[in-house]
């Protein structure tokens, strides 16, 4: 049923609405790899780990690649934290972008749909899925019950550090999301790669699109400043396309390629540092 709905959406037959009843993100019947990925994620995402990964990958010294080239490289990758699709990342990228395009949104937003998961390049460098995919949350303050599988944080070493377990932890109220250390994964990595090429709305979507505890449940909103409040609306809108465009029918890559290559060239040079 959910896939029929999604395909109708992708075909532009139905209008997107945040109130559509849906069966996405159904973790009850999720494949075993979903829980395994989250178990490792929740046990290992700590202040120390995040600091180390930001330092390690923030240097962008993994090579120079074009955006389309990366999308093709990701064609082999399936996200093991995602209960909704078994299609490759290139298919997901095109489905999200096409759904945004069909609704007549600005070109930067269509491009954001296309590239939002390109940070999953991390897994092509050999990074394990728990450090690449899944919902994100801040470290350095109390883990919220709004995070998926919250009980799995019991084994996280930061859970027994009192400095990291108050509501605000190491942060000030209204410090702004950009001042949080977010759990490490594809959102933060791609933000570091593309931040100098895109409008701030696109950068914000890319950086926080997996921050479900905030954009779905309002957790951690005490850290938001005025700018975050405004930009969060874009993340919420984007999320409808990220989720509801998933369907088992693969888009025609060769047919769509010229349009998207032109769109990429509007914002990016031939290659960028990864």
Residue 82 contacts Fe ion per CB under 5 A: no
Question: Considering only CA atoms, which of 152, 155, 127, 156 is closest in space to residue 140?
Answer: 156
When the beta carbons of 72 and 222 are compared against Fe ion, the nearer one is: 72
Q: What is the DSSP string of 170-205?
A: TS-TT--GGGSEEPPSHHHHHHHHHTTTS-HHHHHH
Residue 199 phi/psi, 5-degree rounding, is -65, 160
CB 205 within 8 A of CB 111: no
Q: Which stretch binds Fe ion (CB under 5 A): 113-121, 191-199, 221-229, 256-264?
A: 113-121
Q: Which stretch binds Fe ion (CB under 5 A): 12-20, 55-63, 114-122, 175-183?
A: 114-122
Q: Which stretch binds Fe ion (CB under 5 A): 104-112, 142-150, 219-227, 236-244?
A: 236-244
- In this structure, the number of other CB atoms found within 10 A of the CB of residue 144 comes to 17
Residue 158 contacts Fe ion per CB under 5 A: no
Residue 122 CB, nearest approach to Fe ion (Å): 12
- Per CB under 5 A, the list member of 84, 135, 188, 242 interacting with Fe ion is 242
N residues, the chain: 274
Cα 255 from Cα 257, distance rounded (Å)? 6
CA distance from start to end of the chain: 39
Exposed / middle / buried, residue 190 (Cβ in 10 Å: 0-12, 13-18, 19+): buried
Residue 188 contacts Fe ion per CB under 5 A: no
Residue 234 CB, nearest approach to Fe ion (Å): 15
Cα 97 from Cα 89, distance rounded (Å)? 12
Q: Which stretch binds Fe ion (CB under 5 A): 17-25, 167-175, 222-230, 241-249?
A: 241-249
Residue 159 CB, nearest approach to Fe ion (Å): 26
Residue 84 contacts Fe ion per CB under 5 A: no
Residue 267 CB, nearest approach to Fe ion (Å): 19
Residue 93 CB, nearest approach to Fe ion (Å): 8
| Count of residues of this chain found to bind Fe ion when the rule CB under 5 A is applied | 2
Residue 161 CB, nearest approach to Fe ion (Å): 28
Residue 80 contacts Fe ion per CB under 5 A: no
When the beta carbons of 108 and 142 are compared against Fe ion, the nearer one is: 108
Residue 127 contacts Fe ion per CB under 5 A: no
Where b means 16+ CB within 10 Å and e means fewer, 16-43 reads beeeeeeebeeeeebeeebbebbebbbb
Residue 225 CB, nearest approach to Fe ion (Å): 24
When the beta carbons of 77 and 264 are compared against Fe ion, the nearer one is: 77
Residues that bind Fe ion (CB under 5 A): 117, 242
């Amino acid at each position: 049923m959910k896939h029929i709905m999604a395909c109708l959406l992708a075909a532009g037959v139905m209008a997107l609405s945040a109130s559509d009843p849906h069966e996405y993100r159904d973790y009850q019947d999720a494949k075993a790899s979903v829980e395994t990925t989250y178990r490792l994620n929740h046990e290992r995402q700590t202040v120390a780990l995040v600091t180390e990964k930001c330092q390690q990958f923030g240097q962008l010294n993994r090579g120079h690649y074009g955006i389309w080239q990366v999308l093709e490289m990701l064609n082999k990758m399936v996200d093991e934290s995602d209960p909704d699709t078994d299609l490759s990342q290139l298919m997901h990228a095109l489905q999200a972008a096409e759904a945004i395009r069909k609704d007549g949104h600005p070109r930067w937003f269509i491009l954001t749909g296309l590239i939002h998961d390109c940070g999953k390049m991390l897994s092509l460098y050999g990074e394990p899925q728990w450090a690449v995919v899944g919902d994100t949350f801040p470290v350095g303050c109390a883990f919220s019950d709004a995070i998926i599988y919250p009980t799995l944080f019991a084994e996280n070493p930061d859970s027994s550090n009192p400095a990291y377990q108050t509501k605000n932890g190491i942060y000030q109220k209204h410090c702004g999301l950009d001042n949080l250390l977010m759990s490490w994964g594809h959102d933060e990595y791609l933000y570091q790669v593309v931040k100098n090429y895109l409008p701030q709305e696109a950068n914000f979507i890319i950086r926080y699109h997996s921050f479900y505890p905030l954009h779905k449940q309002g957790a951690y909103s005490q850290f938001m400043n005025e700018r975050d409040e405004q930009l969060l609306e874009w993340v919420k809108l984007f999320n409808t396309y990220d989720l509801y465009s998933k369907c088992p029918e693969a888009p025609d890559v060769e047919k769509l390629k010229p349009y998207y290559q032109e769109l990429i060239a509007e914002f990016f040079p031939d290659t960028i540092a990864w």
